[in-house]
A and B are shown apart, each in its own frame.
Chain A
């Protein structure tokens, strides 16, 4: 390829390079050859030398062999000569050892006596060594004597040890030593174990009693309030753990080493004491009345649990009791938090009520409803978050008992999510509802309407956003298990909140409507409709009604959106009463109704009613301002209608009603969602008034308008 493709110059250059390379390789090869050549020559020389040396060595080895043979022969001769003496020496050594032992044995009682009082351990050791031998040679009377004597001394020692054992003031180490020594003295182990346990028991009881002394004794009559305990719970647990648990562990350990694995007696003993300890701890926990410092409580429980681990190796059954205790404490704390949250919310409500009811200094605006709502919602949410943070401490990672299955699963779901968060939300909805349902029936002081409005808005906000926020927060901090107990789904809570909000809003509408209606009713009932004079102006009560409804509009507008209103027709503020316009045939009117005229008006009004929808007065209200106000206006106007129907009116009475109706229509149409509702009701009022009138002569429409514009 190279040959075929490259031009001639390149080929020549390549040929030159190749030649150079070849020459270089050649010279390398020669250098290598010369080096190795030297090495080969030196190697051959060395091998020649080695051959010569080996020939020398062979001769010397032969000499050595001959010498060794001679030496061994002579050594054998020497030992044969000395064997005899060797044997006798060994025998004497044996005898001496035996004599020494005998002497030791003889001295045993003396030694025992000397040491029994002061160093029983050495005595024991000595005795133990001697005992076996003595037993073996019992048949020899001298030995027997020694044995008896030492036996007596040891029995004495045992007795003394026993009395010492029964003393109160032994600490575990001494106790163990005593018992150990007694065991070595071959006392019956069952008896000893019982003694040991009873001694240990006495000691542990003393410690428990010390702990108990810290707890204030419960008054049998239960009347006196117990003073707060002197030390805090962490100290208590510390002391309990180090003193009681430590001692118990030590004793249990020594029992095991002394008496082997026979735990028949140990377990119930330990179990009984452990139960008492738990009971004391529960009592102390019950004294933690306030919410105090949750972190302190958590640390205390943590310490308790940790120190208990060693004990739990002995008492597997106690593990569940301990876990139960911790769980109960945690639940109790969570319950307390729930109650605190409830009290806090009631407190906030109380503040809001005060703010609403406080007399305002002139010239200064009272607190706006949106501000109050925002403060209320924010403080409740803040408190809830704080509480959750506290409860979080129970499941923090560095806490020992957080790894218990209870805490991972059930605590998160049942205690915290359900017991605290869900229960609080439910309680909030119930309390809010209670404002709507309960008190007004029995005439107790009712909630101010502004409060009802505020709570309705709060519940609505909860339904739309807050509940889901709280639940996600809880789920993040306390993840629920898949296989755990069932949780309340978010939508269920939202539905409850919405129902509460609806109820509150309906109640608000009823209350406000009733207030306005009462005014109208009184105005109709107390007026003399028969003898009244020709109306010159709109009645004061109507103006008051319009003012009140405007005020309510402003109040509701602070918290709720506008809502949808049906488009007004162009002549909305200028409509004349249709009943009159049709009955007043071209320009003239009859001074009294002829029989045909009532039929006309009846027919006309009935036909009209066929085409208009029936109005439901006390229907549920939607969550916007227009709907609320329409509800209130409906209630008030219907009351007016019913009251007018109960009175008998004179001519001027009818005209007054006409003027009032027109005035209301002028001002109320803009508040209602559908102006036809207001129109229809006011038409009804006018028609009923006409029926009830002795001398129905309606006023001229232009005069009516003039009076209304003036007033």
Chain B
């Protein structure tokens, strides 16, 4: 035990979830307490930011965006997934309302942070494409001086409007509440989900989207 901090406040306060921030050289932790999300600095053990009333009721899970600093996703008992910019915590950047009951888990894909996986107790797993707040809103960019004339023309066709955010797929193979979803660390296109009845389902990102993102 290297250091500890206590949370002041009324009533029985609980820490329901916590996550290391992948940026900032491992000095930041975010925790969920009932309905607020707090960020802590481990060097001084003080609270950095606090997102009040993030979800109407309990906050169930958090995740940080691996490629973009300051971006954080949280999900909770109001059936919503909210994306926050920790520099401005008064309002979420985006809100997803695809589930019809509590969302237990939210996960960013480790390499392509526009893919978001959410699992909920309405027995569904939803894979969403949050392009507008990802680190590559306009798709794969290539430097100009590396292009030949032919590729120049192709490039102009490709650089269009940023893609729209959308739900890629809803997986309904589970019969009971889904309590955990995770991305595979070996293959960035593979993910697994676990439900209460003991069913583990492993799925892939649809091929069309995979090639679209890669190319």
Cβ of B53 and Cβ of A441 under 8 Å apart?
yes
Is A638 part of the contact surface with B, judged by Cβ < 8 Å? yes
Contacts of B203 in A (CB 8 A): none
Contacts of B102 in A (CB 8 A): 642
Cβ of A617 and Cβ of B101 under 8 Å apart?
yes
Is A619 part of the contact surface with B, judged by Cβ < 8 Å? yes
For the complex, give the distance between the alpha carbons of A619 and B52 in Å.
27
Cβ of A619 and Cβ of B196 under 8 Å apart?
no
Contact digits for B172-183, partner A, Cβ 8 Å, 1 yes 0 no: 100111000000
CB contact list, B153-211 vs A, under 8 A: 172, 175-177, 196-198
B164 to chain A, nearest CB (A): 24
Q: A617-B100, A638-B121 given as contacts; is B175 within 8 A of A609 (CB)?
A: yes
Contacts of A441 in B (CB 8 A): 53, 56
Contacts of A638 in B (CB 8 A): 101, 121
Contacts of B172 in A (CB 8 A): 614
A517 to chain B, nearest CB (A): 9
Contacts of A642 in B (CB 8 A): 102, 121, 177
Cβ of A602 and Cβ of B198 under 8 Å apart?
yes
> Which residue of chain B has the shortest Cβ distance to A609 in the bound complex?
B175
Contacts of B196 in A (CB 8 A): 645, 688
Cβ of A617 and Cβ of B56 under 8 Å apart?
no
Contact digits for A570-613, partner B, Cβ 8 Å, 1 yes 0 no: 00000000000000000000000000000000100110011000
For the complex, give the distance between the alpha carbons of A610 and B176 in Å.
11
Number of interface residues of A (CB under 8 A): 19
Number of interface residues of B (CB under 8 A): 18
Q: A617-B122, A688-B196 given as contacts; is B56 within 8 A of A440 (CB)?
A: yes
Cβ of A618 and Cβ of B56 under 8 Å apart?
no
Cβ of A443 and Cβ of B100 under 8 Å apart?
no
Contact of B100 among A442, A605, A619 (CB under 8 A): A619
Is A191 part of the contact surface with B, judged by Cβ < 8 Å? no
Contacts of B53 in A (CB 8 A): 441-443
Contact of B57 among A514, A609, A618 (CB under 8 A): A514
B6 to chain A, nearest CB (A): 22
A637 to chain B, nearest CB (A): 12
Is A5 part of the contact surface with B, judged by Cβ < 8 Å? no
Contacts of B81 in A (CB 8 A): none
For the complex, give the distance between the alpha carbons of A579 and B13 in Å.
38
Is A60 part of the contact surface with B, judged by Cβ < 8 Å? no
Contacts of A609 in B (CB 8 A): 175-176
A465 to chain B, nearest CB (A): 33
Cβ of A618 and Cβ of B101 under 8 Å apart?
yes
For the complex, give the distance between the alpha carbons of A688 and B176 in Å.
11
Contact digits for A1-38, partner B, Cβ 8 Å, 1 yes 0 no: 00000000000000000000000000000000000000
Contacts of A606 in B (CB 8 A): 175, 197
Cβ of A605 and Cβ of B56 under 8 Å apart?
no
Contacts of B175 in A (CB 8 A): 606, 609-610
Is A616 part of the contact surface with B, judged by Cβ < 8 Å? yes
CB contact list, A619-644 vs B, under 8 A: 619, 638, 642
For the complex, give the distance between the alpha carbons of A610 and B122 in Å.
15
> Which residue of chain A has the shortest Cβ distance to B199 in the bound complex?
A606
B119 to chain A, nearest CB (A): 13
Contact digits for A372-392, partner B, Cβ 8 Å, 1 yes 0 no: 000000000000000000000
Cβ of B100 and Cβ of A618 under 8 Å apart?
yes
Cβ of A616 and Cβ of B122 under 8 Å apart?
yes
B13 to chain A, nearest CB (A): 14
> Which residue of chain B has the shortest Cβ distance to A602 in the bound complex?
B197
A290 to chain B, nearest CB (A): 40
> Which residue of chain A has the shortest Cβ distance to B172 in the bound complex?
A614
Contact digits for A410-452, partner B, Cβ 8 Å, 1 yes 0 no: 0000000000000000000000000000001111000000000
Contacts of B176 in A (CB 8 A): 609
> Which residue of chain A has the shortest Cβ distance to B179 in the bound complex?
A645
Is B79 part of the contact surface with A, judged by Cβ < 8 Å? yes
Contact of B79 among A610, A618, A688 (CB under 8 A): A618
Contact digits for B92-113, partner A, Cβ 8 Å, 1 yes 0 no: 0000000011100000000000
> Which residue of chain A has the shortest Cβ distance to B177 in the bound complex?
A642
Contacts of A618 in B (CB 8 A): 79, 100-101
Contact of A614 among B79, B123, B197, B198 (CB under 8 A): B123
> Which residue of chain B has the shortest Cβ distance to A691 in the bound complex?
B196
Contacts of A442 in B (CB 8 A): 53
For the complex, give the distance between the alpha carbons of A610 and B172 in Å.
13
A610 to chain B, nearest CB (A): 8
B91 to chain A, nearest CB (A): 10
For the complex, give the distance between the alpha carbons of A688 and B179 in Å.
14
Contacts of A440 in B (CB 8 A): 56
Contacts of A616 in B (CB 8 A): 100, 122
For the complex, give the distance between the alpha carbons of A440 and B56 in Å.
8
Contacts of B52 in A (CB 8 A): 443
> Which residue of chain A has the shortest Cβ distance to B104 in the bound complex?
A642
CB contact list, B46-83 vs A, under 8 A: 52-53, 56-57, 79
A633 to chain B, nearest CB (A): 14
Contacts of B101 in A (CB 8 A): 617-618, 638
A643 to chain B, nearest CB (A): 11
For the complex, give the distance between the alpha carbons of A642 and B52 in Å.
24
Contacts of A610 in B (CB 8 A): 175
For the complex, give the distance between the alpha carbons of A602 and B176 in Å.
12
For the complex, give the distance between the alpha carbons of A443 and B102 in Å.
20
B136 to chain A, nearest CB (A): 31
For the complex, give the distance between the alpha carbons of A645 and B196 in Å.
9
> Which residue of chain A has the shortest Cβ distance to B120 in the bound complex?
A617
Contacts of A602 in B (CB 8 A): 197-198
A-B contact pairs, 8 of them (CB 8 A): A441-B56, A514-B57, A602-B198, A614-B172, A617-B100, A642-B121, A642-B177, A688-B196
- Nearest 9 Cβ contacts at the A-B interface: A617-B101, A618-B100, A609-B175, A616-B100, A443-B53, A617-B100, A642-B121, A618-B79, A606-B175
B-side interface residues toward A, CB under 8 Å?
52-53, 56-57, 79, 100-102, 121-123, 172, 175-177, 196-198
Known: A443-B53, A609-B175, A614-B123. 8 other contacts (CB 8 A): A440-B56, A441-B56, A514-B56, A602-B198, A606-B197, A609-B176, A614-B172, A645-B177
